Amino acid sequence: MQNEVVGFTAYSVEETSAAINRYGNQNKMEPISVAMIQEGEGSGATIKAMAVFTPGYTEEEYVQDS
């Protein structure tokens, strides 16, 4: 499976980070890089982010038979 890049927009850093984590959990992927910018000021500001995700793994995949 390949890495993928996803864009997010929210009204706070907390909302953006929650959306990134939710996306990763739902798709069994881990964010490996995130870039965020703020557009606007005050209550009209929005946060735009781009996150690079890599496929997650489970420990069972790496357990070697003895």
Percent of the chain, pLDDT > 90? 76
pLDDT of residue 43: 86
pTM of the model: 0.80
Other CB atoms closer than 10 Å to residue 66's CB: what's the count?
Answer: 3
Buried b (16+ CB within 10 A) or exposed e, 26-52: eeebebeeeeeeeeeeeeeeebebebe
| Tens-digit pLDDT profile for residues 21-40 | 999 999 999 999 999 999 99
Q: What is the mean pLDDT of residues 50-64?
A: 76
| Tens-digit pLDDT profile for residues 1-10 | 699 999 999 9
Q: ∠ at Cα 38 (37, 44), nearest 5°? A: 155
